[in-house]
Amino acid sequence: MKALIVDDERLARNELKRLLENFPKVHIVGEAANADEAIQLIDELKPDLLFLDIQMPGKNGFELLQSLEGDVPEVIFTTLTMNTPSKLSSKMLWIICSNPSSFRV
Amino acid sequence: MNNKEKVYWICQLVAWPLWLSNDLLTYSLEFKETENWVLVLNYFINIVLSIFLTHQYRRYVKKFNRDVSDYRKVVPQVLLTACILACVMTALNIPFDVFTTEMEYPGGHLFSFLFFWGKPMLIWLILYHMFQYLETTREIAVEKVKLESLAKETEAKVLRAQLNPHFMFNALNSIRALILEDPDRAQKGITQMSNILRSSLLADRRQTVTLGEEMRTVDDYLALEKIRYEERLEVRRNVYPETTNCLVPPMMLQTLVENAIKHGVSKPIKGGFVSIESKLNQNRLEIRISNTGILQDTDSGGFGLKNTERRLKLLFGEDAEFKIYQSAKDVVCAEVLIPMENPKPKEAPVVVNVE
């Protein structure tokens, strides 16, 4: 299973990679530090799984998902902080409702 | 017996004998055939009576109408009481004088009696109420000052910056990731975090800290944020040594730097810079915290920034200033100006003890 990690913090990506070492099935094919990098990599690498942070500089995680064209990989949100603005949650609901099969939060 | 009570009794015991001694002299000269001890007895009886009656009036005022601020009520009350007291004294003195001086037609002197007694009573009442009035206005003023300082203190406590829990959360996660990668740096990070926590706890108890202390907290804070943002965070720091002993509200700079990072570094993809400058200029401490970015209204309507301004003014008076502005095309600057002519912040006003 090809996985892509999207997080703006290098240390957070490293930590996730380290944790994923215990899961040989998951093969990390790339890392992205922001949404634009991620969109490009998703297009190139066609990952099956996306480890996605929500709060990122530039586009946030939800905006990234909205701007994806074609196949959307499975998404696991890796957001740890609770300071997600409330306006995001309604958007999240909208994305989940409009595309239920793609999400496993 | 408190001071006010003492003053009252001294006045009573001095003023009445003095006033009535005039009467005693006149009588002793006019009625030479009357024996002196009778006149002296009369004199003392009148002193006791006067003090007793006026004291009864005072008790009445204290018990039933403490509120003597309205002159439309007080003036008639004073006049009426003066009349009543004069009548009472006259009614008691006429028979007494008939007995001591063997006056023939005491009724003919009725008005001079009334006038004689009305005068000191009126003076007494006016003095009493004037004193009362001054006393109450002073009490009200003191009460007001007390309340104001209490309100300010409470407000300052509420406004005192709290450490942002999200920062702690993020810092802990960064340190966790660092433990395997760079254990020494992780260890340092934990020390820095504990330093920040300590300053934040102390901030609840202290009104001010020196800029030097505050800068140590800010440096620790920046070191932790640097772990998280790495090359995306650029720190510029220019603190003049002569400013390190100036007093600032605890955690205020930290809050402003945190704000700068939130808007200037965490949002743009490439990150940005935070610069801290402090200098003394014309007896004024100037602190500027700049970051990359464009000034815009926040969701909270700048509540945190208004807090900072309020807090500064509470501590250092109205001359202290706080503003935030676009200082260059893509640089936002938060500026704190603290007057230094009185380097100590205002303490709670000294409250005069009034019983």
Residue A61 pLDDT class (50, 70, 90 cuts): confident
For residue range B237-268, what is the model confidence (pLDDT) as tens digits?
999 999 999 999 888 899 899 989 988 888 88
Do the domain assignments include residue B353? no
Residue B146 CB contacts under 8 Å (≥ 6 apart), including other chains: B351
Determine the structural domain holding residue B279 and report its residue range: 160-339
For residue range B300-341, what is the model confidence (pLDDT) as tens digits?
556 677 778 888 888 888 889 999 999 999 999 999 999 986
What are the tokens at B242?
């002569």
- Both B97 and B238 in a single domain? no
The amino acid at B113:
F
Do the domain assignments include residue B345? no
**Is the pLDDT assigned to residue A4 strictly greater than 90?**
yes
Q: Could you say which of B176, B178, B269 has the minimum Cβ distance to residue A57?
A: B269
Residue A59 DSSP code = S
Distance (Å, whole) CA B176 – CA B334: 33
Determine the structural domain holding residue A52 and report its residue range: 2-102
* CATH number of the domain bearing residue A62: 3.40.50.2300
Residue B32 CB contacts under 8 Å (≥ 6 apart), including other chains: none
- Both B168 and B314 in a single domain? yes
Do the domain assignments include residue B351? no
- Both B69 and B190 in a single domain? no
Distance (Å, whole) CA B183 – CA B189: 10
A101 CA: distance to closest CA in chain B (Å): 30
Per-residue pLDDT, averaged over A89-99, amounts to 47
Share of residues in chain B with pLDDT > 70 (%): 86
Q: What is the ipTM of this complex?
A: 0.73
- Both B170 and B279 in a single domain? yes
Distance (Å, whole) CA B101 – CA B106: 10
- Both B32 and B175 in a single domain? no
Residue B216 pLDDT class (50, 70, 90 cuts): very high
Do the domain assignments include residue B174? yes
For residue range B5-42, what is the model confidence (pLDDT) as tens digits?
888 888 888 888 888 888 778 777 776 666 677 778 87
* CATH number of the domain bearing residue B223: 3.30.565.10
Distance (Å, whole) CA B206 – CA B275: 26
| Total domains present in chain B | 2
Q: Do B229 and A83 touch (CB under 8 A)?
A: no
For residue range B140-196, what is the model confidence (pLDDT) as tens digits?
899 888 888 888 777 766 666 567 888 888 899 889 889 988 999 999 999 999 999
Do the domain assignments include residue B165? yes
Distance (Å, whole) CA B31 – CA B103: 10
Other CB atoms within a 10 A radius of the CB of residue B302 amount to: 13
Do the domain assignments include residue B355? no
Cα–Cα nearest to B252, from B223, B285, B282: B285
Distance (Å, whole) CA B266 – CA A33: 12
- Both B116 and B237 in a single domain? no
What 3-state class would DSSP assign to A93? helix
Contacts A–B by Cβ distance under 8 A: 44
For residue range B120-144, what is the model confidence (pLDDT) as tens digits?
888 888 888 888 888 888 888 998 8
Chain B residues interacting with chain A (CB cutoff of 8 angstroms): 166, 169-170, 173-174, 176-178, 180-181, 227-230, 232, 266-269, 271, 299
Cα–Cα nearest to B35, from B92, B104, B99, B106: B99
In the prediction, which pLDDT does B284 show?
92
Distance (Å, whole) CA B318 – CA B61: 43
| Total domains present in chain A | 1
- Both B176 and B304 in a single domain? yes
Distance (Å, whole) CA B67 – CA B51: 23
- A41 within 8 A of A32, measured Cβ to Cβ: yes
Q: Which residue of A has its CA nearest to B300?
A: A85
Which domain-ending residue is among B139, B157, B175? B157
Residue A83 pLDDT class (50, 70, 90 cuts): very low
Q: Do B181 and A57 touch (CB under 8 A)?
A: no
What 3-state class would DSSP assign to B273? strand
In the prediction, which pLDDT does B161 show?
59
Residue B224 pLDDT class (50, 70, 90 cuts): very high
Do the domain assignments include residue B263? yes
Do the domain assignments include residue B74? yes
